[in-house]
Structure 1
Amino acid sequence: MTDQAPIAIVTGASRGAGRGIAIGLGMHGCTVYVTGRSEKTGDSSLPGTIYETAEAVTAAGGKGIAVRVDHADDAQVKALFEQVEREQGRLDILVNNAAAVYDEMTTPLRFWEKPLKVGDMIDVGIRSSYVASWYAAPLMVKQKSGLIIMTSGSGAVHYVFGPAYGAHKAGVDKLAADMAVDFEETGVNVLSVWMGALMTDRLQMVLDSDPVKFAYVKDIVETPEFTGHIIWEIFKDPATAKITGQTVIGAEVAVQYGLKDVGDRQPPSYRDTHKVEPRVQYSNIIR
C-alpha cells in the first residue's frame, strides 16, 4: 500500500451487496468508483442508484465516484478503467460484484419455466468479472500490487435458485483460482469470497414472500457492509499472498480478523449452517 488513499472499484454497486461493500470500504477511507446502470429511481424494481451509493461512501469517510457502466458492454468497461487510470494513476482493489439478477430468478420454478433472461447472470456475472479483471490486471501488475475479489456464495456447491445462479457462483470461484496462477509473482492477489445471506432489499422481498418458511434466515443474516470490512482486512494483510486463488467463507475470515457485524453479532459459517465448504483447486497446471 502507499500513502495515497486506496483506490477501489466496486461493480454492481447501486444496491445490495455492492452498495454495502462500497460503503464498508469508504469507512476505511478508500476512494471508491461505484458502477452500475441505475441512475434514477425507477431504473430497477428495487431502490438504489449509483449516485446514492457514491454519496453514502463519501458520508462514511471515503470518496465515492459514481460511473454509469453497463457491464454487458465491454466498451463501457474499458472506458471505466481508462478513467480510473487517468484520474488516479493506480487501482488497488477491484470487487467484481456486477450480475444480472432478475426478480423471476427466486421463484420456485424449474429453470425452463423461468424467463430465458435469467440466464443473463452467466454473462453479466461470470463474463463481466473476467472482462473487468482483464482490464484491471495491467494496472495492478504495473504497480506490483492489487487485490481482485469475486463476490460469491455457497450456491457454487449446492442448488440455489437454479443452474444460472449456481453457474455464476461456481464460475467466479474458478476464475479466482485460475487467475491466481497467472498472477503468480506479480504482487497481485485474487480471492473469491462467499458472502452470507445479506439483508438487502432483494432478500427482504424473498423473506416477505413466505415469512414462515424463511423465518430462520433472520438469525443468520449479515449486513451488506460486513463484506466490505472483510475485504479491507484481506487487502491490508501481507499474508493474503499465501491464500491467493482460494475461495474463502467471509464469516470465517471475519473470525480470523476479529471482526463482528452490527450489534456485536458473529455471523455463522456455511460450514456450520449448510454443512458445505468451497471446492479445492488441484495444483496441476497445463499451459
Structure 2
Amino acid sequence: MSSTPVALVTGTSRGVGKGVATALRDAGWTVFGTSRRGRGPDGVTNLTCDHTDDDAVAAVFERIESTVGHLDLLVNNVWASPPGFAGFTEKFYQRPLSDWDTLITVGLRAHYVASVHAARMMTARGSGLIASVSSFGSRGHLHSVLYGMSKAAIDKMAFDMAHELRGSGVSAVSLWPGLVRTELLLSAGISEFAGFPISEAEDPTFIGRVIERLATSPDLGTRSGHTLITAELGAEYGITNDDGTAPASHRGPFGGGALYPPS
C-alpha cells in the first residue's frame, strides 16, 4: 500500500483539473484522475468515469482502495457544459430545461456523490481534505441562473459537510478560482475576458499548487467549512503562476465582503 499522499482529481482531461493533477503529481503525490474518456496528464492514473453513473463513481473509489489503500485529498472539479455555453446570451426562460442535467447533475450532484465516498475513506483513517471547485458565480451573476445555483450550493455543501465532519480529522472547503488561463482561453488570442486581463489570470497549475499547500498545511482544520479564494491563498502562501506573476483576486469586482463561514 502507498505511503505517499494520494489524491483523486475529477475532470482531468483539460483545464483546471488537468493543471491540478499535474501540480500534485509534480509535488510527489500519487494522483488518480477521472474523465469520460480516461484522459489526463502523464504520470497520473487516468480512469474512465461518467460522473452521472453512481456505480462508475463507486468503482473509482474501490480502485483507489484496492491499489493504494487510502485517500488524502479529493478535488471535486468535474463539470460539463450545456449546448450554447460558449457565452450564454439567452435568459434562463429561453434556455432548455435540459441545462439542469449538466449544470446541476454534473456540476453539483457529482461533487456530492464523490464527497460521500471520499468521506467514508477519510474518516476511517482520521484525516483528509475534500476540496470543491466553485466560482465567483456564487456572489454575482455569472453565465446563467443554473450556473450560479450550482456554485452557491457547492459553497454551502462544504460549510455543512465541515459541520458534520467536525472531530473526524477530515476537512472540507470550497474554492473560488478567478479567471483561469486554460488551453481554450489562451487559444482565443485575447488580452482580456469579461473585463479581466489575461495577464492577471491564474494558471491551472497555480490552483493545483495552492491546493497542495492547503492540504498539507498544519492549520487546515481551522479553514474547514470556509470558501477560499485561490488567488488570495496563493498570495498568503507565496505561490505564483508558472511565469512568476501573482494572479489577481476577483473579490472586489464581485462585491467584496465575507465568504463562508457567515461573519
- State the TM-score, normalized to the length of structure 2: 0.92
1:20 CA drift (Å): 0.7
**Mapped pair 1:118 → 2:99:** yes
**Mapped pair 1:186 → 2:150:** no
Is 2:88–2:144's contact at 8 Å kept on the other side of the alignment? no
Q: Distance in 1 between matches of 2:191 and 2:237?
A: 33
Moved more, 227-236 or 94-103: 94-103
Question: SS at the partner of 2:98?
Answer: helix
1:54 CA drift (Å): 3.5
Q: Distance in 2 between matches of 1:26 and 1:8?
A: 9
**Mapped pair 1:24 → 2:26:** no
1:50-107 per-position Cα deviation (integer Å, ceiling 9, x unaligned) = 1xx231xx2xxxxx10110000010000111011001111000000011222351223
1:110 CA drift (Å): 1.1
Q: Distance in 2 between matches of 1:196 and 1:28?
A: 23
Summarize the alignment of residues 61-210 of structure 1 with structure 2, pairs less than 5 Å apart.
64-102=44-82, 104-105=84-85, 106-119=87-100, 120-204=102-186
1:168 CA drift (Å): 1.5
Distance 1:202 1:212, change over 3 A: closer
Residue identity in the other structure for 2:95: K
Q: Distance in 2 between matches of 1:22 and 1:226?
A: 11
Residue identity in the other structure for 1:259: I
Residue identity in the other structure for 2:94: E
Question: SS at the partner of 2:234?
Answer: helix
Question: SS at the partner of 1:248?
Answer: strand
- State the TM-score, normalized to the length of structure 1: 0.85
Q: Distance in 2 between matches of 1:279 and 1:136?
A: 25
Q: Structure 1 or 2: larger helix share?
A: 1
Over the aligned positions, Cα root-mean-square deviation in angstroms equals 2.2
Is 1:126–1:168's contact at 8 Å kept on the other side of the alignment? yes
Distance 1:12 1:88, change over 3 A: same
Residue identity in the other structure for 2:141: Y
Unaligned runs of 5+ in 1: 40-49, 59-63
Question: SS at the partner of 1:270?
Answer: coil
Question: SS at the partner of 2:104?
Answer: helix
Aligned position for 1:44: none
Unaligned runs of 5+ in 2: none
